[in-house]
Chains A and B, each alone.
Chain A
Amino acid sequence: MFTEKKLNRIALLGAFSMFLSTIEYLFPRPIPFMRLGLANLPVILALELLPAPSYFLLVLMKVLGQALVNGTLASYVFLFSLTGSFASALVMWLCYRGLRPRITFIGISVMGALTSNMAQIVLSITFIFGASAWRILPLFLGIGLVSGVFIGIFAQRFSDKSRWWAAMKKEALHESP
């Protein structure tokens, strides 16, 4: 199912995502669970490149890789990240397969950000903050929405402009029967 070339592509995109998450640490974070979601960029782009099994393997790799490098594998951060990433990947994959060409990466990214943030808000209220946080935490979905739009615009531009990405897509196309 996974040829060497496919595995290399997954590893490369995963590494790309890990790199972007190190860049993201340069930005300040208002509250622990709110991120810009830069690391999500390769996962969005990968919709164009990878078939379903490889795509979800990439998501797993991304989450595992971050957990190992940051050292959060044995903590609640890993569980939150895993749940949020898989839920949003599934939604984005469904949007991409079902709604194209009437949707761009902007809509896909917004849906992904919404899913991931909702999952993390519900989990953090249940396990950490307690029911009182229902009054405040949902407001952060708004921030998530804005960053989702931003990442989506970025992904669309990268996909349109990058020569490297164009070459990657061309190569992947050649291979598939």
Chain B
Amino acid sequence: MKLRIFDVIALIFSLGVFLLFTIYGRSVNQDEGYVIIETEDDQLIYPLSEDRDIRVEGPVGESLIRIDHGTARFESSDCDDDLCVHMGEIHGAGEWAACLPNRVFLYTGGNEDDREVDAGVY
């Protein structure tokens, strides 16, 4: 049984597709940002790629955090000063927002920067 020219081409082509698929697979999800919400008791994490509303409870009341178009922000909070709402949108590595009266802390990061931040903190 001998391989003919297009057998060889088919093999090389398949190997190529296999490698491309694998490399493409590695690159997917790499740079997806996320937001971490810290409350008094819990730590929550959400990808910034999906829009959603998150309600968390704190000592003062409820804080509503909105993820929208790859950014996160306090939409409302049951605190007196609303400073957190005025802090606006965050999305990049190391950015943060907080509602101190309600003890809710918000920070964003990307997968790549994650390790650097960790390394710096610990």
Contact = CB atoms under 8 A, between A and B. Distances in A.
Q: Do A and B interact directly, with beta carbons closer than 8 Å?
A: yes
Interface of A: 95, 99, 101-104, 106-108, 110-111, 113-114, 118, 121, 131-132, 134-139, 141-142, 145, 148-149, 153, 156-157, 160
Interface residues of B, number: 23
A145 B13 CA distance: 11
Contacts of A145: 14-15, 18
A22 to B, nearest CB: 27
A41 to B, nearest CB: 16
Contacts, number: 81
B7 A138 contact: no
Nearest to B4: A102
Nearest to A101: B4
B15 to A, nearest CB: 7
B72 to A, nearest CB: 20
B22 A138 contact: yes
Nearest to A109: B10
Given A107-B8, A114-B14, A118-B21, 8 more contacts: A95-B10, A102-B4, A104-B2, A111-B14, A135-B26, A139-B25, A156-B1, A157-B1
A100 to B, nearest CB: 9
